[in-house]
Chains A and B, each alone.
Chain A
Amino acid sequence: MDNRDNNDKPGKPKVDQPSRRKFLINTGYVLGGAVVGGAIGALARKPLAPAPAPAKPSAPAAAEPRNFNRALMFFNQEQFGILNAAVERLFPADENGPGAKDLGVAYFIDHQLAGDYGFNARDYMSPPFYAGEKVQGYQGRLKRREIYEIGLREMDNYSQAQYGKGFAQLTGDQQDAVLKAFESDQVKLTTISASGFFRQLLSNTLEGAYSDPLYGGNINMAGWTMRNYPGNQMSYANIIDKDFTKMPPSSLQDHMTAH
């Protein structure tokens, strides 16, 4: 989660190649597998489904509780479909584990934009507005939720202009081409910076994959499990003198019963 907002340097490492996570050892992939494991193989190389609705396991396990967090606070169905397709290209499912779709990244972004983050509530957003030097950071008047609305619409417009279809209906390669055109500012927009939007999207995608499941992404800590990351353990005091220890991850919710 290093690159996390609009003002980062351009030329971030490309994360849209499935091979990027090859180095990860996928040994501890247990928790997420129970939920989404069946869908991974099918999703990995298939063109993305056009339906905006999230992929749902057709036959959920009998004891699987419903997750009432899977609903929209901000986006409409069409925007959500575009976003869900885009984040899956940035963070695709592959042999290492689930992708952004299965991790609930688009829900994470939706929920973030619905609250103070989307309204830039803790940022200084008062006039006057002047274009600044790069080192002076974001100087725009648009809020993050507005940037997302514009960015997603422009991604769809560009897809229509290039391929005659909406972004969510494109093949994976075509979607990559659209995302790259935004990343490299080949797309010229008047309202927002295309590359700035891309970096925002990429940062929020990584946040959704790796932040605590409390926020709606990283479902079942599958993002952490994939990387053998232990989550937030209360203490390592009992193992700090020992050899490398693998442990199941712990979430903030686990602290609620830790008294």
Chain B
Amino acid sequence: MAKTLPKVDVVIVGVGWGGGIIASELTKNGLTVVGLERGKERKTEDYYMVHDELRYALRYELMQDLSKETVTFRSNEKIRALPMRQYGSFLIGTGLGGAGVHWNGQTFRFLPYDFQIRSKTAERYGANKILRKCRFRTGALRTTSSNRTTINSRKWSAFPANRTRLAESAPPVTRRRR
């Protein structure tokens, strides 16, 4: 028997960095949001053996068990779509936290220069080289007056992490480790 739960304004399937930000913005605007995650909950204590390259980087412990569920794909419509039987080009995560947990990119410490780009650029090339109206949009999504949410995909991709995601969903061409 299906259990009927109380209705909410928004249900987000997958609460990683994308769904998490969306949930944050929606709740700030007064909406009630339920986020759905699959897989188990994980805490810092669960990663006591996390420095295990074989287990995590090569055997994909944090990724979805492909024997349960996988995707089919093809590079163009002329070939037959076949299941992704083993991990290679892109990874499908599982478990609470999404890519915020299993993202294996590296974020390097800022260098002193990173905080001086504007002044150093002006110093070397002149202040005229800096566009006056160059501003970064940090809001990935905008809430309209009717509380409907639209995501501007171009702005969304301005986040480096989301760019990685977009690249992942492109048809895989070569087998590369991210």
Point out the residues of chain A lying under 8 angstroms from B58, CB to CB. Answer: 1, 4, 207, 211
A233 and B80 CA atoms in complex are apart in Å by: 46
Chain A interfacial residues counted at CB < 8 A? 35
For residue B85, which residue of chain A has the nearest CB?
Answer: A124
Point out the residues of chain A lying under 8 angstroms from B84, CB to CB. Answer: 124, 136-137
Instruction: Given the known inter-chain contacts A133-B79, A137-B84, A138-B86, please indicate yes or no for A117 contacting B59, CB distance below 8 A.
Output: yes
24-68 of chain B: CB within 8 A of chain A: 48-49, 51-54, 57-60, 65-67
A132 and B81 CA atoms in complex are apart in Å by: 9
Residue B142, interface by CB 8 Å: no
Instruction: Given the known inter-chain contacts A117-B59, A135-B172, A137-B88, please indicate yes or no for A122 contacting B51, CB distance below 8 A.
Output: no
For residue A212, which residue of chain B has the nearest CB?
Answer: B52
Residue B73, interface by CB 8 Å: yes
**Distance of A259 from chain B, by nearest CB (Å):** 10
A139 touching B82, Cβ below 8 Å: yes
A133 touching B51, Cβ below 8 Å: no
Residue B75, interface by CB 8 Å: yes
A211 touching B54, Cβ below 8 Å: yes
B86 touching A136, Cβ below 8 Å: no
Residue B74, interface by CB 8 Å: yes
Residue B7, interface by CB 8 Å: no
B86 touching A232, Cβ below 8 Å: no
A1 touching B80, Cβ below 8 Å: no
For residue B79, which residue of chain A has the nearest CB?
Answer: A133
Residue A7, interface by CB 8 Å: yes
For residue B81, which residue of chain A has the nearest CB?
Answer: A136
Point out the residues of chain A lying under 8 angstroms from B65, CB to CB. Answer: 122
218-259 of chain A: CB within 8 A of chain B: 231-233, 252, 255
Instruction: Given the known inter-chain contacts A132-B82, A135-B172, A136-B74, please indicate yes or no for A122 contacting B53, CB distance below 8 A.
Output: no
Residue B175, interface by CB 8 Å: yes
Residue B83, interface by CB 8 Å: yes
Point out the residues of chain B lying under 8 angstroms from A138, CB to CB. Answer: 85-86
Chain B interfacial residues counted at CB < 8 A? 32
Give the dominant DSSP class at B's interface: loop
A125 touching B67, Cβ below 8 Å: yes
B75 touching A255, Cβ below 8 Å: no
Instruction: Given the known inter-chain contacts A7-B175, A136-B74, A212-B52, please indicate yes or no for A123 contacting B79, CB distance below 8 A.
Output: no
Instruction: Given the known inter-chain contacts A7-B86, A133-B79, A135-B173, please indicate yes or no for A121 contacting B52, CB distance below 8 A.
Output: no
A233 and B50 CA atoms in complex are apart in Å by: 11
A214 and B67 CA atoms in complex are apart in Å by: 26
Contact of A8 among B79, B83, B175 (CB under 8 A): B175
Point out the residues of chain B lying under 8 angstroms from A64, CB to CB. Answer: none
A239 and B65 CA atoms in complex are apart in Å by: 38
Contact of B82 among A1, A117, A130, A212 (CB under 8 A): A130
A211 and B86 CA atoms in complex are apart in Å by: 20
For residue A231, which residue of chain B has the nearest CB?
Answer: B51
Point out the residues of chain A lying under 8 angstroms from B57, CB to CB. Answer: 1
Interface centre among B70, B80, B83, B172, by most chain A C-beta atoms within 10 angstroms, is B83
Point out the residues of chain B lying under 8 angstroms from A6, CB to CB. Answer: 86
For residue B177, which residue of chain A has the nearest CB?
Answer: A2
Residue A95, interface by CB 8 Å: no
Residue A5, interface by CB 8 Å: yes
**Distance of B57 from chain A, by nearest CB (Å):** 8
**Distance of B177 from chain A, by nearest CB (Å):** 7
Interface centre among A6, A7, A136, by most chain B C-beta atoms within 10 angstroms, is A136
**Distance of A140 from chain B, by nearest CB (Å):** 8
For residue A5, which residue of chain B has the nearest CB?
Answer: B86
Q: List 14 A-B contacts (CB under 8 A).
A: A8-B175, A120-B86, A122-B59, A124-B85, A124-B86, A125-B85, A133-B79, A135-B172, A137-B175, A139-B85, A207-B54, A211-B54, A212-B53, A215-B54
Q: Which residues of B contact A (CB under 8 A)?
A: 48-49, 51-54, 57-60, 65-67, 70, 73-75, 79-80, 82-86, 88-89, 171-175, 177
Which 4 pairs between the two chains have the least Cβ-Cβ distance? A232-B51, A211-B54, A124-B70, A124-B66
